[in-house]
Structure 1
Amino acid sequence: MITTIPNIITMFRIATVPVLILLLHDQFYGWAFLIFLIAGISDGLDGFIAKRFDMASELGAILDPLADKALIFSSYLMLMILGDLPFWLFLTVVFRDVLILVGSLIYVAFNGKVKMAPSYLSKLNTFMQISLVVAILAQKTFDLNYNSFTNYLIYATFITTILSGVHYVWVWVVKEEIEMVDGVKEEQNAPKSGGPD
């Protein structure tokens, strides 16, 4: 149901994406920093309300990660174009998300459903990706000089992006095959009933 408070907050976060793109395009880093910060706070707020007041929904489980991806992708794209973010990191983030999207579609094709709950590693990756944008925008807004810290964040984000992508491959491919093999073994080892004593 779209009219729940968490879903309305999520839709608001999606609505901030084109505003953020325009602000970054015109290099209004201060306003972009404020909008991104508000959007980031809304991400935690909608999740808190959904859990605290039992307002979680299937639509919210779909919209929330989509809103996060739209916000992160647009920020990374614009910061990459402006030269504030390395192209290889942008490419890594996009490749990881495409891998997950294709993997989920294949998983649905064979299993009929896919669990939308993110792993702890995925949550850490999202946190790192958001932290990097906040750090870059804060550096531009307040004319801060912490390039070394930003570089550390860039490499940390790269590592968590790779690890979380590999983890999803493990969950959807390797783990699924192991469970299938274990299921076959259990079926073979199960005692046969109905035969002569």
Structure 2
Amino acid sequence: MNLPNKLTCLRMIMIPFFVLFMYLPFPAARYIALIIFIAASLTDTADGYIARRDHLITDFGKFMDPLADKLLVCAAMICLVRTGELPAWVVIIIISREFIISGFRLIAADNGIVIAASMWGKAKTVTQMAMIIVILLDIPALHLLEVILIAAATVLTVVSLADYIAKNRGVLSSKK
């Protein structure tokens, strides 16, 4: 297993620790969760950069990297719904998009096709991660930025879904 794939696996391993610290009842726990989330988010940047730089792009990475991102972001958003800091309807839209895309990827994989993330999908992920970080910071002066990032993440989620379906609609009619 190459380094980018190890970083992807590390990101998935960090998720339960993030969730644990989001639920622990002492004040510093939230900041530990924030540090874990930022570190996990940085592995996303690092694994993609290293994979492209060193020509280490694999089918495992194409499939698991977006999945690791989805797991990290969805876990964080569910925790933020619980705390009342993120509206449930936003999370429902975002998670619904992830299930739809995962369904497309499974159908594609069954037909021997691996679909990499698009630029819209990457922009969506970065915006969602930034949104989560700003919410976790819990700085009143950043409230307007939180609202803007929530709106941007929701819009990019819908746009990236439409783009993904448009570019990959042929997957649904593919035969083995």
TM-score, length of structure 1 as denominator length: 0.79
Distance 2:74 2:40 in 1: 14
Which residue of the partner structure matches residue 195 of structure 1?
Answer: none
Residue in 2 that maps onto 1:119: 118
What is the match of residue 74 of structure 2? 73
1:32: which partner in 2?
33
**Based on CA coordinates, which of the two structures has the bigger radius of gyration?**
1
- Using the TM superposition, give the Cα deviation of residue 107 of structure 1 relative to its aligned residue in structure 2, in angstroms: 4.5
Q: Does 1:154 align with 2:153?
A: no
The Cα of 1:104 is off from its aligned counterpart by 3.2
Secondary structure in 2 matching 1:56: coil
* Identity across matched positions, percent: 27
Instruction: Give a deviation string over 1:136-175, Cα, whole Å, max 9, x none.
Output: 1122xxx4432111111111111001111111221222xx
What's the secondary structure of 1:118's corresponding residue?
coil
Q: Which residue of 1 aligns with 2:141?
A: 145
**2:84 equivalent in structure 1:** 83
> What is the total number of aligned residue pairs between the two structures?
169
Q: Distance in 2 between matches of 1:101 and 1:49?
A: 24
Alignment pair present for 1:17 and 2:18: no
1:82-127 deviation digits (Å, cap 9, x = unpaired):
1111101000011111111223334556xx1333211111111111
Q: Distance in 1 between matches of 2:164 and 2:133?
A: 26
Partners of 2:62 and 2:117 in 1: CA distance: 10
Does the aligned pair in 2 maintain the 1:93–1:161 contact within 8 Å?
yes
Q: Please, which runs of 5 or more residues in structure 1 have no aligned partner?
A: 181-197
Q: Following TM superposition, by how much is the alpha carbon of 1:9 offset from its aligned partner in structure 2, in angstroms?
A: 1.4
Q: Structure 2 CA distance, aligned partners of 1:44 and 1:170?
A: 26
Distance 1:128 1:26 in 2: 26
**Residues 31 and 124 of structure 1, relative CA distance in 2, 3 Å threshold:** same
In the alignment, structure 1 residue 62 sits paired with structure 2 residue 60: no
**Cα distance in 2, alignment partners of residues 13 and 37 from structure 1:** 10
What's the offset of the Cα at 1:17? 0.3
Q: Distance in 2 between matches of 1:105 and 1:41?
A: 27
Amino acid at match of 1:156: A
Write the letter of the residue equivalent to 2:15. Answer: V
